[in-house]
């Protein structure tokens, strides 16, 4: 400030005021920055704490408690849900048993419910073992069994929630099962408490990330059960052995020309054998077939022709004729064998060792025993109904004679396979499919 004639300079006061304001403004700006930094640090601490709490909460939800399946599912968008990329997971193969009678096949893609696949995913979601959705899980299945077909060894593979703490890309740790101090989830026990009685997981195995349930399978084995009655087992065994080797099975399947262009498959084993079960003197028997892969309805077509040979209405040599697609390019029309007795028994893989905890194994044995007893009780009811039928002596002679004539007619009406009307050949089907594809492209 300057002094002139004992009076103050008003301009100097203004400058001092401006300097004070600028100093105060700088101080306030710095303070705001400090507060923002402190706020960010506090938010980071709170977020970390919440993530740990949510992880513990989700970890507890995948437990062996009896109230597991009654827990409320976390809805999408729930603020308490944890992002899927922060959840520990591992690639797992599951071995599944199911009784297929009430299901519309294994696959849920046919949009016919119920299916085994849809029931399995309901259980995975209910137990919170599924991370994200089906598309995110890298899901694969070994086989697509048809409506009514059962299995004791179907295999699927997908990513499931895990106690594994290794990085997601560490496939060695996932396969070796290094989960730190905590044991891995008991997948068999947890899922079986959420599945219906006719579906059970019977084992699980860690799997490498390049594992595929369909393409990694090197062998599949099927069993087909039947009552011997008056069938010629020796003739059926001789005929069935002709399937062994690599053949074109287009005359023993339902052709899917749009998706399948090669119908050559390798069968490595075939056997006809009696089982331990029998009923009123009739022996239960089984066909056992093993191969690398099978076509749509291939087993049921093979069995249908074998039954004709066992009944004596077709010769053993008809197998050779039908396998020769140059000599027989078109499949004769014949009915499929029933789907109910068909069982996918095993799917075989290299370096996949399925396991099950002692507690889960004991629960499985108890469940299968109880289910078996239940079905035997149902069988007893049908046997009781059979005993209560009118005795044959009460049936009039006219009715019995008519029944006998009808049976004779049915037996006499068998048309040899090679004399029957035929389905279009593969080439004829493919030629019809090409114009349809062109029309679709133009549209």
Q: How far, in Å, are 225, 348, 359, 367 from residue 362 at the CA level?
A: 27, 24, 5, 9
pTM of this structure: 0.76
- At residue 62, the pLDDT reads 57
**Is 146 one of the catalytic residues?**
yes
- At residue 391, the pLDDT reads 75
pLDDT level of residue 23 (50, 70, 90 thresholds):
confident
- Residue 434 in this model has a pLDDT that exceeds 50: yes
Q: How far, in Å, are 78, 86, 383 from residue 81 at the CA level?
A: 5, 11, 55
Q: Give the range among 7-11, 30-34, 100-104, 205-209 with minimum mean pLDDT.
A: 7-11
E strand intervals along 23-164 = 89-98, 140-141, 150-161
Written as one string, the DSSP assignment of 389-438 is SPPGGGS-HHHHHHHHHHHHHHHHTPPPGGGS-BPPPHHHHHHHHHHHHH
pLDDT level of residue 16 (50, 70, 90 thresholds):
low
- Residue 340 in this model has a pLDDT that exceeds 70: yes
- At residue 360, the pLDDT reads 96
Cα distance between residue 331 and residue 324, in whole Å: 11
- Residue 235 in this model has a pLDDT that exceeds 90: yes
Mean pLDDT of 296-305: 96
- At residue 328, the pLDDT reads 95
Q: What are the structure tokens assigned to 75, written together?
A: 């809805």
Q: Give the range among 180-184, 217-221, 343-347, 424-428 with minimum mean pLDDT.
A: 180-184
Q: Say which residues have a Cβ less than 8 Å from residue 131's Cβ, sequence separation at least 6.
A: 84, 87, 89, 137, 159, 160, 161
Find out whether 1 and 9 touch, Cβ atoms under 8 Å: yes
Q: What are the structure tokens assigned to 420, written together?
A: 């029957």
Mean pLDDT of 8-28: 69
Mean pLDDT of 63-68: 46
Catalytic member of 146, 210, 317, 403:
146
- Residue 309 in this model has a pLDDT that exceeds 80: yes
Nearest Cα residue to 68 out of 59, 77, 78: 59
Nearest Cα residue to 102 out of 227, 202, 203, 196: 196
Residues in the chain, total: 443
- Residue 187 in this model has a pLDDT that exceeds 60: yes
- At residue 74, the pLDDT reads 44
- At residue 67, the pLDDT reads 47
- Residue 2 in this model has a pLDDT that exceeds 60: no
Residue 378's CB is within 10 A of a number of other CB atoms, namely 9
Find out whether 328 and 249 touch, Cβ atoms under 8 Å: no
pLDDT level of residue 33 (50, 70, 90 thresholds):
confident
Mean pLDDT of 80-91: 70
- Residue 7 in this model has a pLDDT that exceeds 50: no
pLDDT tens digits, residue range 246-291?
A: 999 999 999 999 889 999 999 999 999 999 888 888 899 999 999 9
pLDDT level of residue 12 (50, 70, 90 thresholds):
low
| Average per-residue pLDDT for the chain | 82
79 vs 360: which has the higher pLDDT: 360
């Amino acid at each position: 400030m300057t002094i002139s004639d004992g009076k103050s300079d008003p301009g100097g006061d203004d400058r001092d005021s401006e300097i004070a304001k600028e100093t105060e403004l700088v101080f306030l700006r710095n303070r705001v920055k400090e507060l923002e930094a402190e706020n960010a640090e506090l938010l980071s601490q709170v977020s970390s704490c919440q993530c740990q709490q949510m992880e513990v909460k989700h970890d507890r939800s995948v437990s062996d408690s009896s109230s597991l399946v009654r827990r409320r599912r976390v809805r999408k968008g729930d603020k308490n849900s944890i992002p899927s990329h922060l959840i520990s997971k591992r690639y797992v193969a599951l071995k599944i048993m199911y009784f297929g009678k009430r299901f519309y096949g294994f696959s849920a893609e046919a949009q016919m419910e119920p299916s085994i696949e849809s029931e399995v995913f309901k259980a995975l979601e209910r137990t919170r073992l599924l991370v994200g959705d089906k598309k995110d899980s890298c899901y694969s299945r070994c086989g697509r069994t048809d409506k009514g077909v059962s299995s004791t060894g179907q295999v699927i593979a997908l990513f499931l929630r895990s106690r594994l703490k290794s990085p997601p890309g560490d496939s060695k740790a996932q396969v070796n099962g290094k989960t730190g101090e905590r044991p891995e989830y008991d997948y068999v026990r947890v899922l079986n408490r959420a599945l219906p009685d006719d579906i059970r997981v019977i084992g699980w195995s860690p799997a490498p990330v390049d594992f595929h349930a369909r393409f990694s399978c090197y062998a599949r084995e099927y069993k087909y059960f039947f009552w011997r009655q008056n069938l010629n087992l020796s003739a059926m065994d001789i005929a069935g052995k002709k399937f062994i080797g690599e053949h074109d099975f287009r005359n023993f399947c339902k052709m899917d020309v749009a998706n399948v262009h090669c119908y050559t498959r390798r069968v490595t084993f075939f056997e006809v054998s009696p089982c331990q079960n029998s009923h009123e003197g009739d022996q239960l028997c089984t066909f056992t077939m093993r191969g690398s892969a099978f076509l749509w309805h291939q087993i049921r077509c093979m069995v249908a022709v074998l039954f004709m040979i066992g009944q004596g209405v077709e010769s053993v040599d008809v197998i050779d004729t039908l396998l020769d697609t140059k000599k027989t390019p078109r499949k004769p029309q014949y009915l499929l064998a029933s789907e109910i007795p068909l069982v996918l028994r095993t799917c075989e893989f290299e370096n996949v060792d399925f396991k099950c905890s002692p507690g889960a194994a004991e629960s499985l044995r108890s469940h299968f025993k109880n289910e078996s007893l239940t079905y035997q009780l149902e069988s007893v009811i049908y046997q009781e109904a059979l005993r209560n039928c009118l005795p044959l002596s009460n049936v009039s002679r006219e009715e019995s004679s008519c029944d006998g004539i009808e049976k004779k007619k049915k037996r006499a009406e068998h048309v040899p396979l090679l004399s029957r009307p035929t389905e279009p050949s593969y080439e004829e089907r493919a030629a019809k499919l090409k114009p349809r594809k062109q029309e679709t492209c133009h549209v």
